[in-house]
Amino acid sequence: METYSAIATFVGAAAALLFAILTARKVLKASEGTDRMKAISASIRAGANAFLKRQYVIVSIFFAVVFAILCVMAAAKLLTWFVPFAFVTGGFFSALSGFIGMKIATAANARTANACREGLNRGLRIAFSAGSVMGFTVVGLGLLDISIWFSLLKFVFNLPANEITGAMITFGMGASSMALFARVGGGIFTKAADVGADLVGKVEAGIPEDDPRNPAVIADNVGDNVGDVAGMGADLYESYVGSIISAAALGVAAFGSFEALALPMLIAAVGILCSIIGTFFVSTKEGASQKNLLAALSRGTNLSAILIALASFPLVYFILGAAHWKMYFAILAGLIAGVLIGQATEYFTSDTYKPTRKLAASSETGSATIIISGISLGMLSTALPIIIIAVCVLVAYFVSGGAASASMGLYGIALAAVGMLSTLGITLATDAYGPVADNAGGIAEMAGLEKEVRQRTDALDALGNTTAATGKGFAIGSAALTALALMASYIDKVHSIEGGAEKLANLSLMNPTVLIGLFIGACLPFVFAALTMESVGRAAQSVVKEVRRQFHEITGLMEGKATADYAKCVDLCTKSSLREMVLPTIVAVIVPIAVGLLLGSTGVVGMLAGATASGFLMAVFMSNSGGAWDNAKKHIEGGAFNGKGSDNHKAAVVGDTVGDPFKDTSGPAINILIKLLSMVSIVFASLVVSFSLL
Amino acid sequence: METYSAIATFVGAAAALLFAILTARKVLKASEGTDRMKAISASIRAGANAFLKRQYVIVSIFFAVVFAILCVMAAAKLLTWFVPFAFVTGGFFSALSGFIGMKIATAANARTANACREGLNRGLRIAFSAGSVMGFTVVGLGLLDISIWFSLLKFVFNLPANEITGAMITFGMGASSMALFARVGGGIFTKAADVGADLVGKVEAGIPEDDPRNPAVIADNVGDNVGDVAGMGADLYESYVGSIISAAALGVAAFGSFEALALPMLIAAVGILCSIIGTFFVSTKEGASQKNLLAALSRGTNLSAILIALASFPLVYFILGAAHWKMYFAILAGLIAGVLIGQATEYFTSDTYKPTRKLAASSETGSATIIISGISLGMLSTALPIIIIAVCVLVAYFVSGGAASASMGLYGIALAAVGMLSTLGITLATDAYGPVADNAGGIAEMAGLEKEVRQRTDALDALGNTTAATGKGFAIGSAALTALALMASYIDKVHSIEGGAEKLANLSLMNPTVLIGLFIGACLPFVFAALTMESVGRAAQSVVKEVRRQFHEITGLMEGKATADYAKCVDLCTKSSLREMVLPTIVAVIVPIAVGLLLGSTGVVGMLAGATASGFLMAVFMSNSGGAWDNAKKHIEGGAFNGKGSDNHKAAVVGDTVGDPFKDTSGPAINILIKLLSMVSIVFASLVVSFSLL
């Protein structure tokens, strides 16, 4: 059984990576177009590479310090010696996921623009293929990391099941920390560049978006890649790996067998194969409407989901045994919840539905009312996802036999998370396609391509906004389920430590340490959102000043006789976003340790529950408010409510500007925060059990 | 012991009410000034009375329906027959508190304006006296209600201690429901009128604030009274009564004795006497600066707090016995936490400190950046109050012996809430003084009084903003502590029901019903904030249209030759705010019952914890963001950052408009929401235990 599982998992990982390589070669074969297009694409690539390179230097320092601390703890027998190395590999693979995704995205942008000169379907194929490379790299590397560690611990060190999962779960902390750096750093970069370019270029100087005279225009395009691609990749790598390993750990706790450990890995492997099949069904006809385009993408993801739903039944039935076939419904609940949350997000943020149209209408009475309406839209939109997750958790728990045995029920919740994330290969492909299309549009504009090309890239980009919104909903939903599974893993971990079980004896809400932990945990997403928003503000401020300076000092720039100093803006964004990403990350790492040492393990559990609940709400609120403002603005630009340039439009631009850090910096960063808190708590569990004050 | 306690409590109540009556007579003796002033004041009074009258009609229907339901439940033996009547008296006294407060405030506004013609100190005395009437009416009626019910249940029905508190706690539900109606209805009224008056009058027509040509100007002044006075009175009545009774109930659970039941009542009674003494130290010299004025008010509240700190030690020592003298520190922790939360609020919202000054500076780059900065300021400001409450809860729990006996610790937490609220008489006086000064300023403007009069009322009003902010912090902090005490009372209540103890056996965070309840509870404040904000938007929209219509149709209005139809605006605000207040209240009453029936009592506990944590955060965030925007605008109007009329000022006005429903409608309503949820859960506990699904 163990050998077969290891092989099957490895085969799944290899299939994903092979598919990614073949798809990448297909993308790279396409032409980059004119010399001007090549040059622009090269600048974007150079900027993105420079950012990542410097980011990795800073991150390496952090990893070196934590590695050293973990080694000291291992020497003090507070950890096994596997932990420091697992930590580093988790970070390495997470970074690699983001890096490869960013490489292919920056290689595909000019190619997509060029393909759009031939036709819409051709453009869609290139952009979606680039997205697929990213999606399958993430799942492939995730499963590869898992299969290597599993084989090593099982076949080389010959550890029992519970020690294997205990060691493996700690590479989640490496992945989470890397993801947080990527998300926060990239998120600040992209929004600082975007806000800076818009405020001075569009609003003050009155030149169009993506105009080559704007010094921040390259930085803006770089931002799409480092934020939306590299950040997103690292984020979902982490959810993916975290959900599989915590399910494996909880499976061991519930069944004590290798079968329960292997099931989540096998579901993931099967999910990869089903997702690959799905990608072949994504294509459209020439002259397709936006609806057709969306249908093309949905066809792929829906088909994959159905295939997984069919394939996982025999998996559960034969691996867990006939007595536990009902656990299949936990996986199904997760799959369905993922789809539903995506649809709920679309309903609240797409201008084809009432909420965003009403939001656009509130621009009639100015910017204050559109802000109030957008905030209340976002807050109201939290109810539906909460109910979806609630039903999913209850179903997963009780069908798995939670009423008789809590550990069975918790395993069921973790399986739901695995089920939801099993479609990740293709879901991420549709999501990562957006920034590629966005960049392609920018290149078409800057290179002065024909008008119909820009129209085609705009069609692809508009669709990208919808897939980005559903993708965000999916990311948040899966993060919440994963966080719950990790919380259960934390408790499992503490129980495995000597003296840990007594420390956790009273997890009741009436225990004041639990309650206080809950309050502090619930507060963290608020503080985190505030810190990241302020960072964007400060970074954007510096970009605004630089763009103003260039407009002022470079003679002939506005007349198109001189070129702007793009590199300076890229450099500025890089420096300020990297400086700003450090504090939030350190807060996220230190708080759970501090809470543990002061309030004990029960306080940590309270903190994790509070952070997950309030983090989920804040992330949904901020993403949906931001998405709705963005689309309300686009709706007005499309001609509604007096159209572009009207007072309504000005009000909508204010809404969109407020929404930018909401949806692209703070909201997504909270996703990672809630997982990182659990990961840190798990790694430092024995420290807390040994030295806590209460 | 029981007799002495009942007498002492009654004496405390009588002292408060007597002091309120004497102070009211002093206020009423002052002159209302010129005929024009009298007429304006009469219009405001008429509008406020009309609003309250119609509000009480709607509320009566709600109370009649719930009363009937409770009677049916009593007939079915799910409740005792005391409950329906306790419910009604709670609502009645809460309404009466708001009503009397509003009466005196509308009587004192012209008198304050007139007194300011004589001098600043004279104006302060009248306005503060009016606030005192309100403050001492609230605590007097609260304690009167308690002493009457206690005497009735003890001396007439001769019930044992636990049945007395069990019956008494249900009048909290009446008080909470009434408070929610008052807060939501009044909050929507005041902001609809304010936003409507500002948007059309100040922004579109360009006439100054409180200009008599503005048709919404009377409605705006009415709003200050029905929202800030009547709403605030009902809210704090409810916290006050709720904290005392839940402490009494938890005292019985911990000690099983009348002594522990009596202690919170006696602390409250002593608190009233100390607060009365404090009021005599509030006065200032002519030509006092704002700092002097603030010092005058602080002298009164600080002195009261010190006296209570001194007096409660012997109370604890002699009533609970020498073995439990450490419980004194629980009371002290509550007292100190109340002061600290007020100061933290002041730090984040007053323009004498860095955060609000930085916020004002962010107006340099327009309205989008001031919105982002204001939101992040509010979110960041949640950290300090959370830590203060956390430390207070931990101290209260452990000094009371919670480590050995949880019920002792919970009693300690409830005592902390009582300690915090023991200064309510004078705290509320400094708080309710604000709207009176605000109204006085309006009357001075409308009646065309001398410029120096307006300067004096402005000085009083500016101070009112600071006391309102600290008052809000105090209201939120005490609501959170009271909600925690009520949560403990709920558990106590369920344990007292046959079969209830087993239902609550697993309150662990790993129980999925607890966890799901937590998620749903945490979501409620978000939904509630969204609903109330949208209500304000809709109501304001109708006011905007009406004001535009009057400017358009009434010839000679702008030239001052014709008078505006003030009554129409008041009527419109009344109608729309009363229509809008129904849905949020019904949500707040039905959700806890629905959650209970679906998820069982453990789900209810999860929901209460989630709602308290996220509600506290949301209330602090929204109040502080709103307060800071308001003061940033005032800071700019005071001449900073290019002053009034500049682009900075316009950006700040957008911030202030967004902040209005934040700080005066949604934020304060969440305070009541979290208490009402517990109250409803307590009353319907036996229904849930008997009929829940899970």
Residue A162: burial class (beta carbons within 10 Å; 0-12, 13-18, 19+)? middle
State which amino acid sits at residue B584: P
User: What is the per-residue pLDDT across B671-685, written as a single tens digit (0 to 9) for each?
Assistant: 899 999 999 999 999
Band (pLDDT 50/70/90 cuts) for residue A551 is confident
Name every chain A residue with its beta carbon within 8 A of the beta carbon of B616.
519
**CB within 8 Å: B527 and A609:** no
Q: Which of A199, A413, A527 lies at the smallest CB-CB distance from B383?
A: A527
Is B542 part of the contact surface with chain A (CB cutoff 8 Å)?
no
**CB within 8 Å: B510 and A488:** yes
Residues 6+ apart with CB under 8 A from B47: B218, B219, B222, B566, B567, B570, B574
Q: Which of A365, A519, A613 lies at the smallest CB-CB distance from B518?
A: A613
How far does B477 lie from chain A, in Å, by closest CA?
13
Nearest partner of A107 among A130, A136, A134, judged by Cα: A130
State which amino acid sits at residue B137: T
**CB within 8 Å: B654 and A541:** no
How far does A517 lie from chain B, in Å, by closest CA?
9
Lowest mean pLDDT among A69-83, A313-327, B448-462: B448-462
Nearest partner of B376 among B629, B609, B551, B55, judged by Cα: B629
User: What is the per-residue pLDDT across B555-589, written as a single tens digit (0 to 9) for each?
Assistant: 888 887 888 888 888 889 998 998 888 888 889 99
Among chain B residues, CA nearest to A410: B510
**CB within 8 Å: A386 and B523:** yes
Mutate to test the interface with B, among A393, A395, A515, A595 (most CBs of B within 10 A): A515
Q: What is the mean pLDDT of chain A?
A: 91
Is A407 part of the contact surface with chain B (CB cutoff 8 Å)?
no
Give ipTM to 2 decimals.
0.94
Band (pLDDT 50/70/90 cuts) for residue A287 is low
Mutate to test the interface with B, among A194, A384, A531, A614 (most CBs of B within 10 A): A614
pTM above 0.90, yes or no: yes
How far does B381 lie from chain A, in Å, by closest CA?
8
**Angle made by CA atoms B430, B435, B439, in degrees to the nearest 5:** 135
How far does B517 lie from chain A, in Å, by closest CA?
9
Band (pLDDT 50/70/90 cuts) for residue A308 is very high
Is A131 part of the contact surface with chain B (CB cutoff 8 Å)?
no
**CB within 8 Å: B368 and A657:** yes
Token pair, residue B539, equals 């109501």
Name every chain B residue with its beta carbon within 8 A of the beta carbon of A376.
529-531, 533-534, 537
Name every chain B residue with its beta carbon within 8 A of the beta carbon of A611.
none
In which element (H, E) is residue A291 found? helix A290-320
Name every chain A residue with its beta carbon within 8 A of the beta carbon of B199.
365-366
Whether A59 contacts A181, CB under 8 Å:
yes
- Interfacial B residues in 172-211 facing A (CB < 8 Å): 199
Name every chain A residue with its beta carbon within 8 A of the beta carbon of B610.
613
Handedness of CA B336, B342, B345, B347 (dihedral sign): negative
Band (pLDDT 50/70/90 cuts) for residue A286 is low
Residue A142, pLDDT score:
95
State which amino acid sits at residue A462: A
Is B403 part of the contact surface with chain A (CB cutoff 8 Å)?
no
User: What is the per-residue pLDDT across B18-68, written as a single tens digit (0 to 9) for each?
Assistant: 999 999 999 999 999 999 999 999 989 988 998 999 999 999 999 999 999
Residues 6+ apart with CB under 8 A from B153: B82, B159, B163, B164, B167, B168
Share of chain B above pLDDT 70, in %: 99
User: What is the per-residue pLDDT across B71-121, written as a single tens digit (0 to 9) for each?
Assistant: 999 999 988 999 999 999 999 999 999 999 999 999 999 999 999 998 888
- Say if residue A74's pLDDT is above 70: yes
**CB within 8 Å: B365 and A541:** yes
- Interfacial B residues in 618-637 facing A (CB < 8 Å): 621
- The strand pairing partners of B508, in sequence order, are A508
Name every chain A residue with its beta carbon within 8 A of the beta carbon of B487.
509-510
Is B658 part of the contact surface with chain A (CB cutoff 8 Å)?
yes
Strand runs labelled E in A534-641 = none
Among chain A residues, CA nearest to B537: A369
Residue B518: burial class (beta carbons within 10 Å; 0-12, 13-18, 19+)? buried
Among chain B residues, CA nearest to A532: B376
- The strand pairing partners of A188, in sequence order, are none
How far does B544 lie from chain A, in Å, by closest CA?
9
Q: Which of A199, A510, A621 lies at the smallest CB-CB distance from B406?
A: A510
CA–CA separation, B668 and B674 (whole Å):
11
Is B345 part of the contact surface with chain A (CB cutoff 8 Å)?
no
Residue A525, pLDDT score:
97
Residue B288, pLDDT score:
67
Q: What is the mean pLDDT of chain B?
A: 91
Name every chain A residue with its beta carbon within 8 A of the beta carbon of B200.
none
Whether B457 contacts B116, CB under 8 Å:
yes
Averaged pLDDT, A493-521: 92
Residue B76, pLDDT score:
92
Averaged pLDDT, A299-304: 91
- Say if residue A284's pLDDT is above 90: no
**Angle made by CA atoms A581, A584, A585, in degrees to the nearest 5:** 80
- Say if residue B417's pLDDT is above 70: yes
Among chain B residues, CA nearest to A384: B523
CA–CA separation, B456 and A272 (whole Å):
74
Is A555 part of the contact surface with chain B (CB cutoff 8 Å)?
no
**CB within 8 Å: A507 and B508:** yes
Whether B146 contacts B241, CB under 8 Å:
yes
Whether A591 contacts A524, CB under 8 Å:
yes
User: What is the per-residue pLDDT across B462-476, written as a single tens digit (0 to 9) for each?
Assistant: 788 778 878 888 889
Q: Which of B367, B410, B605 lies at the smallest CB-CB distance from A654?
A: B367
How far does B142 lie from chain A, in Å, by closest CA?
28
Handedness of CA A151, A155, A160, A163 (dihedral sign): negative
Is B337 part of the contact surface with chain A (CB cutoff 8 Å)?
no
Q: Which of A533, A621, A653 lies at the smallest CB-CB distance from B376?
A: A533
How far does B371 lie from chain A, in Å, by closest CA?
7
Q: Greatest CA span in chain A, whole angstroms? A: 78
Residue B491, Cβ neighbours under 10 Å: how many?
A: 28
Is A670 part of the contact surface with chain B (CB cutoff 8 Å)?
no
B281, B285, B288, B292: CA torsion to nearest 10: -20
CA–CA separation, A239 and A414 (whole Å):
12
Share of chain B above pLDDT 90, in %: 62
- Interfacial A residues in 305-324 facing B (CB < 8 Å): none
Nearest partner of B272 among B391, B132, B472, judged by Cα: B132
- Say if residue B138's pLDDT is above 90: yes
- Say if residue B293's pLDDT is above 90: no
Residue B421, pLDDT score:
95
CA–CA separation, B476 and A293 (whole Å):
50
User: What is the per-residue pLDDT across B217-244, written as a single tens digit (0 to 9) for each?
Assistant: 888 888 888 888 888 888 889 889 999 9
Band (pLDDT 50/70/90 cuts) for residue A224 is confident
DSSP assignment letter at A508: B
Lowest mean pLDDT among A122-136, A205-219, A470-484, B179-193: A205-219
User: What is the per-residue pLDDT across B295-336, written as a single tens digit (0 to 9) for each?
Assistant: 888 889 999 999 999 999 999 999 999 889 999 999 999 999
Name every chain A residue with its beta carbon within 8 A of the beta carbon of B372.
533, 536-537, 657-658, 661
Residue A77: burial class (beta carbons within 10 Å; 0-12, 13-18, 19+)? exposed
- Interfacial B residues in 575-614 facing A (CB < 8 Å): 605-606, 609-610, 613-614
Residue A288, pLDDT score:
67
Among chain A residues, CA nearest to B373: A534
